[in-house]
Amino acid sequence: MNPVAETSTMETIQTTRSLTLVQAVTDALGTMLAEDDRVMLLGEDIGKNGGVFRATEGLQEKFGEDRVIDTPLSEAGIVGSSVGLAVNGMIPIVEIQFLGFVYPAYEQIATHVTRVRMRTMSKYTVPMVIRAPYGAGVRAPEIHSDSPESLFTHMPGIKVVCPSSPADAKGLLIAAIKDPDPVLFMEPMRLYRAVREEVPEGMYEVEIGKGKKVTEGDDVTVITWGAMVPVAKKAVEKAKAKGIQCDFIDMRTLFPLDRDIIAESVQKTGRVVVVHESHETTGVGNDILSIINKTSFLYMKAPIEKVTGFDVPVPFFALEDEYLPTPKRVEEAIEKVYTF
Amino acid sequence: MNPVAETSTMETIQTTRSLTLVQAVTDALGTMLAEDDRVMLLGEDIGKNGGVFRATEGLQEKFGEDRVIDTPLSEAGIVGSSVGLAVNGMIPIVEIQFLGFVYPAYEQIATHVTRVRMRTMSKYTVPMVIRAPYGAGVRAPEIHSDSPESLFTHMPGIKVVCPSSPADAKGLLIAAIKDPDPVLFMEPMRLYRAVREEVPEGMYEVEIGKGKKVTEGDDVTVITWGAMVPVAKKAVEKAKAKGIQCDFIDMRTLFPLDRDIIAESVQKTGRVVVVHESHETTGVGNDILSIINKTSFLYMKAPIEKVTGFDVPVPFFALEDEYLPTPKRVEEAIEKVYTF
Amino acid sequence: MEELYPITQYVNEEGKFTDDSIKEEITAELVHSFYYNMLRIRTFDRKAKSLQRQGRLGTYALFEGQEAAQVGSALSLKKDDWVFPTYRDHGAILTFGANMPKVLLYWNGRAEGNLHPDRNIFPPAVPIATQLPHAAGAAWADKRKGNKNVSIAYFGDGATSEGDFHEGMNFASVFKLPVVFFNQNNGYAISMPIEKQMNSKTIAQKSVAYGMPGIRIDGNDIFAVYFETKKAFDRARNGDGPTLIEAVTQRFGAHTTADDPTKYRDQYEVDSTRDQLDPLLRLERFMKEQKYWDGKWEQEISTQINKEIEEAIVEMENFPKANVEDLFDHVFAEMPWPLREQKEQYLQSVRRDQ
Amino acid sequence: MEELYPITQYVNEEGKFTDDSIKEEITAELVHSFYYNMLRIRTFDRKAKSLQRQGRLGTYALFEGQEAAQVGSALSLKKDDWVFPTYRDHGAILTFGANMPKVLLYWNGRAEGNLHPDRNIFPPAVPIATQLPHAAGAAWADKRKGNKNVSIAYFGDGATSEGDFHEGMNFASVFKLPVVFFNQNNGYAISMPIEKQMNSKTIAQKSVAYGMPGIRIDGNDIFAVYFETKKAFDRARNGDGPTLIEAVTQRFGAHTTADDPTKYRDQYEVDSTRDQLDPLLRLERFMKEQKYWDGKWEQEISTQINKEIEEAIVEMENFPKANVEDLFDHVFAEMPWPLREQKEQYLQSVRRDQ
Ligand SMILES: Cc1ncc(C[n+]2csc(CCOP(=O)(O)OP(=O)(O)O)c2C)c(N)n1
Ligand SMILES: Cc1ncc(C[n+]2csc(CCOP(=O)(O)OP(=O)(O)O)c2C)c(N)n1
Ligand SMILES: [Mg+2]
Ligand SMILES: [Mg+2]
């Protein structure tokens, strides 16, 4: 739970500050802009306006208009030109205003961001980060609330990261920026200002590809990430009150998934609930099933339960609470696997 | 196995013709163009040239330039204008030259093709078909060989169909065109001219959402679709020679998957091999795992094996045979689950 | 290029003719209809803003300042035409005949907000510029049907940077479709001033890329908007293909109620020039100048408009609650099993509590 | 618009000056370099075609007819500039300094085909128009670095219909990037003639949309191509931003070796006009007219070129077989476990046989 413990570069860390998740993002961006002149921020309204969620607040003023760039309204242009920037020595960090608006850039991501290294046998690489708020639950206008991680976990060549806490957000974002390969960094919009946490100052990394045990328990493994962490947590607490002890995992990285943390937990409990916000079909939840099938078949005591967004488009906000997993649905699932 | 038996409108069927898969596609398109004046074909090089694979050969000549339209090189324009055509009464059938070139239209598909019905509570609908050759194995230039079905099975609001035989291709394509909702119709490039089959003349449908049992067996369930059907078939035959009887299923539809045919078979065999061409992670294979987890947990005798394209971009053709599932890999998987 | 695309204006800021070639076509009825519709949508917009403040409406996109552009362009549409608005064009669709309670429902996160009876109004484009190809396609269908309907696509200055703008324009020009691309250049895309959005001095000149007529008009002069849009519709109805219209206007307020424009522009400047720029005041000045003004009439319509809006709010607030079943029922004509099962399971879980 | 974008030509079909303002800048060395490079890539192209026929190469994209456009545009590039070609521009990259055996390897389905030493050559754009934003980005990086490098993006007439064309052009113009967008208008996108691809009479005029200089040149006149491209590079190097160049040319052959042009165009017409259009013949006529021609020299370089190509073929054919490990090793800097595991398992399975 203590991010400092996971830090690879410790020397600069002395103090902490209480930050929200979005402030932690800003902190990470500022840290890396200061650290490495090749880092550039590109996006719509990220300069003067500081981003529609204020994730880049103050950064243009501090680092200048050639480092923090207000771009035209053009996702394919932003990502496509960032490919050119990257192969020619820069480290572009792209903000997509809402992850559901990344689709116009999907072509650039699926055939270029992810394939330049392969096509050139590592002569050219794309150390790019695409960050974006994602998810429902804030009464945003329609089509602002998608959670399309599956489209990226499926396309080889990009890592997918999704923090749920301020300290993780900063450490994972720094790790993503330092990563030599492209990373999609999903920021749970709903948690931007929902929690505060002590976040170490200065430079530190949280390792990509490692999940985090939130609570320990022997009865049921509960796996989730991002905005669903607090939702599942409520259910885990309720279950505890009823005597069911959950091993509760925040995945943090969606590709590559942390197979070891899953297998270790599942082999202990034999009962699993996976919770995610995106649609069930071809969701990342099924990748977790696949890992369990491979690693822990003989340990399973009950069919795995999934609590996910339904196989319907994310609805208008009047129905979004019905679309989203709720603590109640998670709790029911925990009981179901427990009593199987 | 006899498509006639699955036909819903039988009266016009008397004779059959021996057709390749691509000819069966042309036949279906011609049949529907003749049947329904609202049907329009749109795509690059589909008119005079008859399509780069000749799937629309002769259709412009027969049905005119306002029914079979050579469009500009503009996938978002093709799909986007087809949304407008569809809501205003037409039935657009779009050809994407290779499915890997659909990405520029992904935005139009993910937020419009699939959501118009939802956003208007069925006031407007999009009875569109997007058809495209997909897959590797024909020594095509790079980036012509993707198999990105996952991107569509995950996005609610579109059905995904993938035939492996000429008669299925015709019947499923007619069903797709008659379907009131959007359908992605994936045509296995590698099988376009690989097989001939007697195909009924005139109008008939093969039901979307229904798999097909290719061979019956009690030992191992083998599930695949599209271009992997002949690959898996070879393995199934080899297994048979060794005394392993496979229940071999051609899924034909990838969303919605035919849960019943899967469950029925798996509950008989308890052992499963899933084969698909696309990448393993977040592949449709995992949706099959999910169905089995839900329906057949207690019947399973071995972990499910998947033989898939690897989690790497589809490579240049010098390595494509290494990327693709082979009969040998499938055979090994069958033996593995059989001997577990 | 600015010289090639001068701004067409008939009535200037003071309400005086700068070009009176249209004088013959102006009737009292037309002028009153301009004023009535502009006052109506402005009143609506202000009311909606205050509802949002009170928590009775979700995030709302304001259009104050753009009334002449929206009303002038919508007024000469015919009933069977097709409208492809953005999230900021409910002034236009209300003028075209959208149902007011439905518009309010839309901003309250309800899909029912897209169900305007008897009008072909596509749901507002949320992903920017995606509606241009749609409008081309709908126009194409009408062309094939051989009727005289047109389509209009509304879009902003920022939208011109998206690929879909380009692809939609190209399709319309290649297939000579009966569609009007109506750009409201309000100077900003959220915080981004147009000078940084594009290097071209005008939006109208982008028509050159498509061999399409491009018109640049004073979007605060409802006469310019109305007559130039009408001409473009006429060309479209006559089979002469698409037109790009750039209506130069401004957004007086924030991008949406979630936006704070003081972060990126001098709101004082906006406020100090607004008296001069305001399209409604300009029309009022014109009406006074030309003796169309009637204070009593203005009072009457004002009362009537307020009543209409109050009633619409009541209707919106009394509208039945969103139905959980709708979450599943409008994805496919017939629900595939994953949805059917999810729906059943969810309804069971919900009902367990009740 | 055609009047606004007349075709720049210096030397006409007969090899005579139509504009001799460049005369001073023409040296024997330059002319010989034009001829040598054009002959070299034509010989290469024909050889590659025949290799494909013999099954020694995969599907191949031919560029015969476009040699002046490709050589003229590539010759004034400097070593550290960036080139973003399409699948049809190996004539240009060979001129720029691409490695010939590697070019052949590319067409044999080998990733090694993209590894040209000492040159910044991006892999050919396969998805149409995607390279325009890349070129803008690479130019942007050089601008930030403060050097004088430029980027050039090659693309075809059909590519102008894609959104990425538009977004790349817009970025370059907004950020004033040192990039040249070099269009080879060869009249066709596979089977689609340009008249049906766009409604604009020229491609050059599309520059207007971006407030960018647009130049239309005779793409078969290597003098026009060379000098106009050079000017555009100079502007870019001097901080004056991007240029769009439309080089009007033609594709004599099929789209690729998999294409049958008789399906959609009168190949007889192409063949009967080719003597007149052929850029290499034009240069030969010019050289004869201007006494640059030297039959012996021509023989010599021809022999030398054939030798180079034969050697490249040998090198290509002796190149080590594709390595299975490469399938996995170049996706990430460090292989994540799913790839590592898949690789291990696959290698085991393969080795079991050996
Ligand atoms: C594809 C996409 N990217 C980003 C956004 C976020 N966004 C919403 S409105 C807007 C600005 C639009 O500006 P403009 O086209 O000028 O229209 P205006 O809002 O001024 O009416 C942006 C960037 C979006 N809705 N869609
Ligand atoms: C996004 C995308 N759509 C379709 C194709 C298939 N395709 C390959 S080349 C081509 C025509 C390109 O024409 P043009 O831009 O004029 O270039 P040329 O081939 O004439 O050099 C098409 C449609 C593709 N490669 N990428
Ligand atoms: Mg605007
Ligand atoms: Mg061309």
Per residue in D169-192, pLDDT (tens digit) is 999 999 999 999 999 999 999 999
Q: Where are the beta strands (DSSP E) in chain A?
A: 16-19, 39-43, 68-70, 91-95, 129-134, 159-161, 183-188, 197-200, 212-215, 220-224, 246-250, 253-255, 272-279, 305-309
Q: How many angstroms separate the CA atoms of C268 and C274, rounded? A: 10
Provide the pLDDT for residue D4.
82
Nearest to C133 among B84, B124, B259 (CB): B84
Q: Please give the helix or strand (H or E) that residue C148 lies within, else none.
A: none
| CB contact (8 A) between residue D205 and residue C208 | yes
| CB contact (8 A) between residue C199 and residue D211 | yes
Q: How many angstroms separate the CA atoms of C80 and C103, rounded? A: 19
Q: How many angstroms separate the CA atoms of D6 and C157, rounded? A: 31
Q: What average pLDDT score do residues A235-252 get?
A: 98
Q: Where are the alpha helices (DSSP H) in D110-176?
A: 131-145, 163-174
- In this structure, chain A runs to a length of 340
Q: Quote the minimal CA–CA distance from A151 to chain B in Å.
A: 6
- In this structure, chain D runs to a length of 354
DSSP annotation string for C44-113:
HHHHHHHHHHTTSS-S----TT-HHHHHHHHTT--TT-EEE-BTT-HHHHHHHT--HHHHHHHTTT-GGG
ipTM of the complex in this document: 0.97
Identity of the amino acid at C327: L
**Residue D316 predicted with pLDDT over 90:** yes
Q: pTM of the prediction?
A: 0.97
- In this structure, chain B runs to a length of 340
Residues 6+ apart with CB under 8 A from C237: C148, C149, C150, C178
Q: Quote the minimal CA–CA distance from B189 to chain D in Å.
A: 14
Q: What average pLDDT score do residues D185-211 get?
A: 98
Q: Mean pLDDT over all residues of chain D?
A: 97
Question: Where in chain D are the domains?
Answer: 7-321, 323-354
Give yes or no for a contact between C221 and D11, defined as CB atoms under 8 angstroms apart.
Answer: no
Residues in chain B within 8 Å Cβ distance of D129: 73
Half-sphere exposure for D109 (CA within 13 Å, toward CB):
26
Provide the pLDDT for residue B8.
47
> How many other C-beta atoms can be found within 10 angstroms of the C-beta atom of residue D146?
6
Phi then psi dihedrals of residue D214, to 5 deg: -125, 130
Which chains pack against C, by 3+ Cβ pairs within 8 A?
A, B, D
Same domain, B12 and B159: yes
Q: How many angstroms separate the CA atoms of A249 and A258, rounded? A: 10
Q: Is D300 helix (H, G, I), strand (E, B) or coil?
A: helix
| CB contact (8 A) between residue A77 and residue D111 | no
The one catalytic residue among A144, A154, A276, A279: A144
Provide the pLDDT for residue A5.
44
C127 lines ligand 1 (CB under 6 A): yes
Question: Residue C253: which of C190, C198, C192 has the closest Cα?
Answer: C190
Residues in chain C within 8 Å Cβ distance of D205: 208-209
> How many other C-beta atoms can be found within 10 angstroms of the C-beta atom of residue C120?
21
Quick check: is A135 in a domain?
A: yes
Per residue in C171-205, pLDDT (tens digit) is 999 999 999 999 999 999 999 999 999 999 999 99
Q: Please give the helix or strand (H or E) that residue D44 lies within, else none.
A: helix D28-53
Q: Is D155 helix (H, G, I), strand (E, B) or coil?
A: strand
Q: How many angstroms separate the CA atoms of B154 and C334, rounded? A: 18
Measured from the alpha carbon of residue C130, the closest ligand is 1
| CB contact (8 A) between residue A297 and residue B312 | no
Residues D244, C4, C209, C191: is their CA dihedral positive or negative?
Answer: positive
Residues 6+ apart with CB under 8 A from C216: C5, C6, C7, C8, C202, C203, C204, C245, C246, C248
Q: Note if the bond before C336 is cis, omega within 30 degrees.
A: no
Looking at the complex, does the CB of residue A157 fall below 8 Å from at least one CB of chain B?
yes
Cβ-Cβ pairs closer than 8 A, B with C, add up to 132
Same domain, A169 and A32: yes
| CB contact (8 A) between residue C258 and residue A52 | yes
Provide the pLDDT confidence category of residue D1 given band limits of 50, 70 and 90.
Answer: low
Per residue in C7-33, pLDDT (tens digit) is 999 999 999 999 999 999 999 999 999
Quick check: is B205 in a domain?
A: no
Which chains pack against D, by 3+ Cβ pairs within 8 A?
A, B, C
Same domain, A261 and A302: yes
Provide the pLDDT for residue A7.
47
| CB contact (8 A) between residue A312 and residue C324 | no
Q: Quote the minimal CA–CA distance from B80 to chain C in Å.
A: 5
Same domain, B224 and B168: no
Give yes or no for a contact between B145 and B309, defined as CB atoms under 8 angstroms apart.
Answer: no
Q: Are strands B183-188 and B197-200 parallel, antiparallel or unpaired?
A: unpaired
Same domain, A183 and A255: no
Q: Quote the minimal CA–CA distance from D11 to chain B in Å.
A: 33
Q: Which atom of ligand 1 is nearest to the CA of C126?
A: 25
CATH number of C7-321: 3.40.50.970
Give yes or no for a contact between A252 and A6, defined as CB atoms under 8 angstroms apart.
Answer: no
Instruction: Kindly give the distance from the C-alpha atom of residue C189 to the centroid of ligand 1, in angstroms, as a whole number.
Output: 6
* Residues of B that are catalytic: 144
Q: Is B27 helix (H, G, I), strand (E, B) or coil?
A: helix
Quick check: is B1 in a domain?
A: no
Provide the pLDDT for residue B12.
53
| CB contact (8 A) between residue C162 and residue D163 | yes
Residues with CB under 6 A from ligand 2: B 44, 73, 75, 97, 101, 104; D 88, 126-128, 156-159, 186, 188-190, 255
The residues that bridge with B132 in the sheet, in sequence order, are: B186
**Residue A207 predicted with pLDDT over 70:** yes
C218 lines ligand 1 (CB under 6 A): no
Instruction: Kindly give the distance from the C-alpha atom of residue D18 to the centroid of ligand 4, in angstroms, as a whole number.
Output: 27
Number of domains in chain B: 2
Provide the pLDDT for residue A192.
98
Which chains pack against B, by 3+ Cβ pairs within 8 A?
A, C, D
State the residue range of the domain holding A300: 212-339
Nearest to B119 among C123, C133, C135 (CB): C123
Q: How many angstroms separate the CA atoms of C151 and C180, rounded? A: 6
Quick check: is B259 in a domain?
A: yes
Tell me whether residue A276 is one of the annotated catalytic residues.
no
Residues in chain B within 8 Å Cβ distance of D353: 328
The CA dihedral of B164, B166, B167, B171, to the nearest 10 degrees, is: 80
Instruction: Kindly give the distance from the C-alpha atom of residue D342 to the centroid of ligand 4, in angstroms, as a whole number.
Output: 41
Residues in chain C within 8 Å Cβ distance of B256: 336-338
Residue A259: give its domain's CATH number: 3.40.50.920
Give yes or no for a contact between C77 and C232, defined as CB atoms under 8 angstroms apart.
Answer: no
Same domain, A77 and A184: yes
Instruction: Kindly give the distance from the C-alpha atom of residue D164 to the centroid of ligand 2, in angstroms, as a whole number.
Output: 13
Q: In chain C, whose CA is at the least distance from the CA of B75? A: C167
Q: Mean pLDDT over all residues of chain A?
A: 96
Q: In chain B, whose CA is at the least distance from the CA of C326? A: B121
> How many other C-beta atoms can be found within 10 angstroms of the C-beta atom of residue B4?
13
Instruction: Kindly give the distance from the C-alpha atom of residue A51 to the centroid of ligand 1, in angstroms, as a whole number.
Output: 13
**Residue A4 predicted with pLDDT over 50:** no
| CB contact (8 A) between residue A87 and residue D135 | no
The pair of structure tokens assigned to B44 is 């690059």
Q: How far is CA A203 from CA A37, A59, A129, B123, C327, in A?
A: 15, 17, 17, 54, 45
Q: Which residues of chain B have pLDDT under 70?
A: 1-13
What are the strands of the beta sheet with B305-309, ordered from one edge? B212-215, B246-250, B220-224, B272-279, B305-309
Q: In chain D, whose CA is at the least distance from the CA of C176? A: D199
Task: Give the best residue of B147, B290, B312 to mutate against chain A (max A CB count within 10 A).
Answer: B290
Q: Where are the beta strands (DSSP E) in chain B?
A: 16-19, 39-43, 68-70, 91-95, 129-134, 159-161, 183-188, 197-200, 212-215, 220-224, 246-250, 253-255, 272-279, 305-309
Quick check: is B2 in a domain?
A: no
Quick check: is B294 in a domain?
A: yes
Q: How many angstroms separate the CA atoms of D156 and D128, rounded? A: 9
Q: How many angstroms separate the CA atoms of B6 and B173, rounded? A: 14
Residue nearest to atom 17 of ligand 1 (CA): C156
Q: Are strands C188-189 and C192-193 parallel, antiparallel or unpaired?
A: antiparallel
Quick check: is A205 in a domain?
A: no
Per residue in D139-150, pLDDT (tens digit) is 999 999 999 999
Half-sphere exposure for B152 (CA within 13 Å, toward CB):
31
Same domain, B219 and B146: no
Nearest to B88 among C138, C330, C339 (CB): C138
Residue A13: give its domain's CATH number: 3.40.50.970
Identity of the amino acid at B65: E
* Residues of C that are catalytic: 251, 255, 264
Q: How many angstroms separate the CA atoms of C175 and B72, rounded? A: 10
From B134, B167, B200, the end of a domain falls on B200
Identity of the amino acid at B24: A
Q: Which atom of ligand 2 is nearest to the CA of D127?
A: 26
Cα angle for residues A15, A20, A22 (degrees, 5° grid): 115
Measured from the alpha carbon of residue C186, the closest ligand is 3
Longest dimension (CA), chain C: 71
Q: Is B122 helix (H, G, I), strand (E, B) or coil?
A: coil
Same domain, B27 and B137: yes
Phi then psi dihedrals of residue D328, to 5 deg: -105, -25
Q: Is C234 helix (H, G, I), strand (E, B) or coil?
A: helix
Residues in chain C within 8 Å Cβ distance of B82: 137
Provide the pLDDT for residue C2.
64
The pair of structure tokens assigned to B60 is 């412009």
Nearest to C196 among D162, D174, D206 (CB): D174
Q: How many angstroms separate the CA atoms of C19 and D66, rounded? A: 52
> How many other C-beta atoms can be found within 10 angstroms of the C-beta atom of residue C73?
32
The pair of structure tokens assigned to B197 is 């089959």
Of B46, B52, B71, B73, best ligand 2 pocket probe by most atoms within 8 Å of the beta carbon: B73
Q: In chain C, whose CA is at the least distance from the CA of A282? A: C338
Burial of A161 (0-12, 13-18, 19+ CB in 10 A): buried
Q: How many angstroms separate the CA atoms of D108 and D51, rounded? A: 10
Same domain, A97 and A147: yes
Provide the pLDDT for residue D351.
79
From B200, B225, B247, the end of a domain falls on B200
Identity of the amino acid at B295: T
Q: Which atom of ligand 2 is nearest to the CA of D255?
A: 19
Q: Which atom of ligand 2 is nearest to the CA of D88?
A: 21
Per residue in A85-121, pLDDT (tens digit) is 999 999 999 999 999 999 999 999 999 999 999 999 9
Give yes or no for a contact between A158 and A149, defined as CB atoms under 8 angstroms apart.
Answer: no
Provide the pLDDT for residue D268.
83
Phi then psi dihedrals of residue B89, to 5 deg: 105, -5
Per residue in A131-180, pLDDT (tens digit) is 999 999 999 999 999 999 999 999 999 999 999 999 999 999 999 999 99
> How many other C-beta atoms can be found within 10 angstroms of the C-beta atom of residue C308?
15
Residues in chain B within 8 Å Cβ distance of C147: none
The pair of structure tokens assigned to A10 is 């410790």
Give yes or no for a contact between A83 and A129, defined as CB atoms under 8 angstroms apart.
Answer: no
Q: How many angstroms separate the CA atoms of D67 and D71, rounded? A: 6
**Residue C354 predicted with pLDDT over 70:** no
> How many other C-beta atoms can be found within 10 angstroms of the C-beta atom of residue C31?
18
| CB contact (8 A) between residue D163 and residue C161 | no
From B141, B166, B200, the end of a domain falls on B200
Same domain, A225 and A196: no
